[in-house]
Structure 1
Amino acid sequence: MTAVTARTPVDLPSSALLTDHYELTMLQASLASGTWQRRSVFELFSRRLPEGRRYGVVAGVGRALDLVERFRFDDHVLGILDEERVVDEQTLAWLADYEFTGDIWGYPEGEVYFPYSPLLVVESTFAEAVLLETLLLSVYNHDSAIASAGSRMTWAAQGRPCIEMGSRRTHEEAAVAAARAAYVAGFDATSNLAARERYQIPTTGTSAHSFTLLHDSEEDAFRAQVTSLGRGTTLLVDTYDVAEAVRLAVEVAGPELGAVRLDSGDLGVLAHQVRAQLDALGATGTKIVVTSDLDEYAIAALASAPVDGYGVGTQLVTGSGHPTSGFVYKLVSRADEQGRMLPVAKKSKDKASVGGRKYALRQLSPEGVAQAEVVGIGAEPVDDGDDRSLLVPLVREGEVVGRESLDAARQRHLTSREELPLPARMLSKGQPVIPTVHLDS
């Protein structure tokens, strides 16, 4: 077997074209006006949670850091920009030497967030920071939407394992990112092999209905699968008649059969019937896995059914009705001609932002329950001893310092989610489970 050699982000293709045209035209105009060097602070945040959600989950941090490292304008990229006349010669010359040399602070991956939580604080020149806008929003909006939906699903599953299996329901690259985000949110495995190769996420899979239909009989299909994959495999039992399939499955594999999968029908009723049948046949250790367009509500509805695991696809990779998180990336502070930092903010109706560089902490009760998201403007809020700061260094003077393992992000999510008040578990529509409080310096 050929060993897989991991490639570092800088070895991979440039990410500089994963952006919007207007980022480069703003750069060109700021170079011409001389304002490109002004020290600037951009922040990535949401003005509100997706409708009815009580909390959100930060995901995509590690992916974003990899892409920032690869954000370089090499000869190939510069040639495209030149050929298409996207920017002028002065701008091309500036881009040829581009590298981000500023600082980025952010909520670590897996952390929960609320409206106006400063998930990223980017400090650099205007020119360096503005170019990252589209890339950062693309990653954070997608991955956090998946993780936020996935978190609700794993909480509803009450400790039963969940498998991400939505690759065929989304773009092929989005599928890999979705598997990663779902793992952060507590999913145990994915069906996507690229996610295994890139992020070492456990993968699983056995067979689809086509495998059963390929054979002359269901028994032949089961025997072929058990012979190849062993008695611990999972047999799909709803191609024809469920009760007959369960009987055949145990007859072929014996009581050591690993699991049966149900993919259609009234899953709650079927699970009870199949559990009783398996037990009567002596297969008391055989598990029941259910699939079929599950979301957090369907998973919660199966809480009392004898289900041992869930496979989730479409609803997960589309954010369970909210495929984006609604994040924005706004300039909140910039230097004047004398170098003094000034707060700036958008005042548009329904799209207002809050000026000034932000700091944040999670206010906790003495029992460790989250009470509020406290956002300090211009100065860090005072920790009364029970609280914890939320922003950590991700990039310092252009060098990534905040990279961590996916398992660390996964554990962080489980820990931070447990801090939330009990209403956070509710699936009914509601307001953010804790308020966001802004404190002026």
Structure 2
Amino acid sequence: MNTADLGLPVDVPSTALFTDHYELTMLRAALEAGSAERRSVFEVFTRRLPEGRRYGVVAGTGRVLDAVENFRFDGRVLAFLRERRVVDDKTLQWLAGYRFTGDIWGYPEGEVYFPGSPVMRVEGSFGECVLLETLILSILNHDSAVAAAASRMSSAAGGRPLIEMGARRTHELAAVAAARAAYVGGFTTTSDLAAGFRYDIPTVGTSAHAFTLLHDTERGAFQAQVESLGRDTTLLVDTYDVAEAVRIAVEVAGPGLGAVRIDSGDLLVIAHRVRHQLDELGATETKIVVTSDLDEYAIASLRAAPVDAYGVGTQLVTGSGHPTCSMVYKLVARAESADPGAPLMPVAKKSMGGKTSIGGRKWAARRLDEQGVAQTEVIGTGPVPDDLADRQLLVRLVRDGQVVAREPLDAARDRHTAARAGLPLSATQLSRGEPVLPTEYV
């Protein structure tokens, strides 16, 4: 089904069916019971960070705002629901006019978070809020997982550029979202053109082994690439013999060769050998780019090597072992009745197995120590203490259904750099450990 079938512009797809069946059946039952219009507060949070991680990274907020705006039940979407008998006619009529008219607050994109942090708060009627659960979680869980991996890799790289190149290792649409999240987390470029087109992320790329193998000789492949792309290109030198390839590369491109790429072998040893060889050949400014199933640990191990940039794919787009953040979307408060002026009362799930939630509409702030370093993540439901009034983390993203907090992607990227820098130094350790900030409830 394409977007034209929904009566929507082809560049603005409906997100209405990016939801779970049970959200619509809950809506149907709530409409029947007269409780669908009760004012409600839902919060997104995680009970724990992935094992060994010391902080999380909020990513995907901008995508959530777009998705909520485009959450419309139209045309064949309604016909699909009718044909499958997912809901009754009364509910279909309600859905036909659906527009989110509530408020959304959240940690701004790029901010760090910890267990219990209310990274997003959705307020409105139960009916309009409950439908957004799966959509919001699918975006935040995926993008925040990739951004967290990217942040760790960026920290391990110590300022050296990182290239996102994981498109071929994941779903084609997830690849675009992953490139965006990686950019927020500290990557500098992507190989994915769709991500470059949609989010204005710088794109890079030169050639693969297939290009070298296409030609009768390695020299012929290098000559063709240099003639087409210029001497500043990056030549892939590990198709056959690395040392011979480096020699030929400098002969063909001259000492002004932009870079060589190494994609296999003992990268630490080979990088040192290639750097020495390039310097001997007079190519002292030629950079070395390494790829080959890198993760944050491999990148950290190459800190002492003469490597100028890293290309990362599989481990990045799969969250480096943690492809989800296990965020949940829970009702934490609801009105005592459907009356618009009815007071809110806190509600929370009480269950075994560590899934207990804390009720009430929450605020969050970060306490700093005397040196201005983050010390504690503070979460509360009552008045905000005076000393934390200017340290609150939640910002308004949507007011009365209208997005009010769109920002350039670079703003989220810069925010993350600053947020990570404000954490204790132990936050960037790659060894397994507990969250670098404790969560305090007041």
TM range, smaller chain = over 0.9
Match of 1:164 in 2: 164
Is the Cα–Cα contact under 8 Å of residues 186 and 410 in structure 1 kept in the other structure? Answer: yes
Residue 210 to residue 412, structure 1, CA distance change in 2 (3 Å) = same
Cα shift at 1:376: 1.3
Match of 2:364 in 1: 360
Q: Distance in 1 between matches of 2:387 and 2:203?
A: 42
Q: Cα deviations across residues 185-231 of structure 1 (Å, max 9, x unaligned)?
A: 11000000000110000000000000000000000000000000000
Match of 1:412 in 2: 415
Q: Does 1:369 align with 2:373?
A: yes
User: CA RMSD for the aligned pairs?
Assistant: 1.3
Residue 221 to residue 430, structure 1, CA distance change in 2 (3 Å) = same
Is the Cα–Cα contact under 8 Å of residues 361 and 381 in structure 1 kept in the other structure? Answer: no
Percent identity over the alignment?
Answer: 71
Cα shift at 1:378: 3.5
Is the Cα–Cα contact under 8 Å of residues 365 and 388 in structure 2 kept in the other structure? Answer: no
Q: Cα deviations across residues 111-152 of structure 1 (Å, max 9, x unaligned)?
A: 000000000111101001000000000000000000000000
Q: Does 1:438 align with 2:441?
A: yes
Match of 2:302 in 1: 302
Aligned length: 431
Match of 1:4 in 2: none
Matched residue type, 2:238: D
Residue 41 to residue 98, structure 1, CA distance change in 2 (3 Å) = same
* Correspondence list, 1:219-234, <5 A: 219-234=219-234
Matched residue type, 2:383: A
Is the Cα–Cα contact under 8 Å of residues 150 and 185 in structure 1 kept in the other structure? Answer: yes
Is the Cα–Cα contact under 8 Å of residues 206 and 233 in structure 2 kept in the other structure? Answer: yes
Which of 333, 344, 349 is the matching residue for 2:347? 344
Match of 1:93 in 2: 93
Q: Cα deviations across residues 221-278 of structure 1 (Å, max 9, x unaligned)?
A: 0000000000000000000000000000000000000000000000000000000000
Match of 2:103 in 1: 103
Q: Secondary structure at the match of 1:383?
A: helix
Is the Cα–Cα contact under 8 Å of residues 360 and 381 in structure 1 kept in the other structure? Answer: no
Cα shift at 1:368: 1.6
Match of 2:384 in 1: 380
Cα shift at 1:10: 10
Q: Distance in 1 between matches of 2:385 and 2:18?
A: 36
* Correspondence list, 1:43-54, <5 A: 43-54=43-54
> Unaligned 5+ residue runs, structure 1?
1-7
Q: TM-score, normalised by structure 1?
A: 0.96
Q: Distance in 2 between matches of 1:395 and 1:382?
A: 26
Is the Cα–Cα contact under 8 Å of residues 30 and 127 in structure 1 kept in the other structure? Answer: yes
Q: Distance in 2 between matches of 1:209 and 1:297?
A: 26
- Worse-matched range after superposition: 338-347 or 192-201: 338-347
Match of 1:237 in 2: 237
Cα shift at 1:367: 1.8
Match of 1:315 in 2: 315
* Correspondence list, 1:34-433, <5 A: 34-337=34-337, 339-349=342-352, 350-384=354-388, 388-433=391-436
Cα shift at 1:85: 1.1
Q: Distance in 2 between matches of 1:379 and 1:195?
A: 42
Q: Distance in 2 between matches of 1:207 and 1:380?
A: 56
Q: Cα deviations across residues 291-319 of structure 1 (Å, max 9, x unaligned)?
A: 00000000000000000000000000000
Is the Cα–Cα contact under 8 Å of residues 366 and 388 in structure 2 kept in the other structure? Answer: no
Residue 22 to residue 368, structure 1, CA distance change in 2 (3 Å) = same
Is the Cα–Cα contact under 8 Å of residues 10 and 70 in structure 1 kept in the other structure? Answer: no
